[in-house]
């Protein structure tokens, strides 16, 4: 008896494995929530389409997915919702031979993505990795973000006219100025 499949991004490909090479199926994706990584959180559902195709020896999964993640502006550190688009292409090999029901010898290819014992293809991990890697190095709240004041850290978007008197501009010189003041007073 086969258990109903409730896991997100998991597909039973038993009948596809029995189909002729070249046969494919597409599935709409609508995932409300998926833990991505310790420091990466979704800000929108994952939407798109997964296409599973039977090749001579495997199942080839391709997916075009869009979502958004919670991020921060690189310049001013404000929270930013960053849209993310990923394309995934994964080949998954059987772990059980569909005809004989016997385990497949995996010694030659120990590191490839495998279908499980019930011919389930679980794409959650490849999707997690693709979304984590898609976060841009530079995220901006707006293209012309002014960032934070390098002296005191105030948000320059809120206070564009903000400036410091000349002697305070370089914090590395602050100690020297203080020392001079002290030696002058003696």
Site residues, Zn ion (CB under 5 A): 73, 75-76, 141, 145, 149, 151-152, 154
Residue (96 or 145) nearer to Zn ion, CB: 145
Q: Are 96 and 103 in contact (CB under 8 A)?
A: yes
Residue (13 or 80) nearer to Zn ion, CB: 80
> Rounded to the nearest whole angstrom, what is the least distance from the CB of residue 76 to Zn ion in the complex?
3
Contacts of residue 99, Cβ cutoff 8 Å, sequence gap at least 6: none
> Rounded to the nearest whole angstrom, what is the least distance from the CB of residue 174 to Zn ion in the complex?
13
Q: Provide φ and ψ at 172, rounded to 5°.
A: -70, -25
Q: Which tokens is 52 given?
A: 């599973």
Q: Are 113 and 92 in contact (CB under 8 A)?
A: yes
3-state secondary structure of 41: coil
Residue (75 or 119) nearer to Zn ion, CB: 75
> Rounded to the nearest whole angstrom, what is the least distance from the CB of residue 128 to Zn ion in the complex?
27
């Amino acid at each position: 008896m086969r258990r109903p499949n409730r896991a997100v991004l998991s597909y039973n490909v038993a009948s596809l494995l029995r189909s002729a090479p070249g046969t494919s199926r597409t599935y709409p994706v609508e995932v409300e929530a998926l833990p991505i990584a310790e420091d990466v959180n979704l800000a929108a559902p994952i939407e798109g389409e997964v296409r599973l195709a039977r090749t001579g020896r495997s199942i080839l999964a391709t997916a075009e997915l869009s979502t958004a993640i919670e991020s921060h502006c690189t310049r001013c550190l404000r929270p930013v919702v960053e849209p993310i688009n990923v394309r995934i292409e994964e080949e998954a090999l059987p772990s059980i031979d569909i005809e004989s029901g016997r385990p497949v010898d995996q010694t030659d290819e120990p590191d490839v993505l495998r279908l499980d014992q019930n011919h389930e293809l679980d794409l959650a991990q490849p999707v997690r990795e693709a979304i984590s890697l898609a976060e841009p190095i530079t995220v901006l709240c707006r293209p012309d973000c002014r960032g934070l004041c390098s002296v005191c850290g105030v948000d320059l978007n809120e206070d564009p006219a903000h400036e410091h008197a000349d002697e305070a501009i370089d914090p590395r010189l602050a100690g020297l100025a203080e020392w001079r003041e002290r030696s002058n007073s003696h």
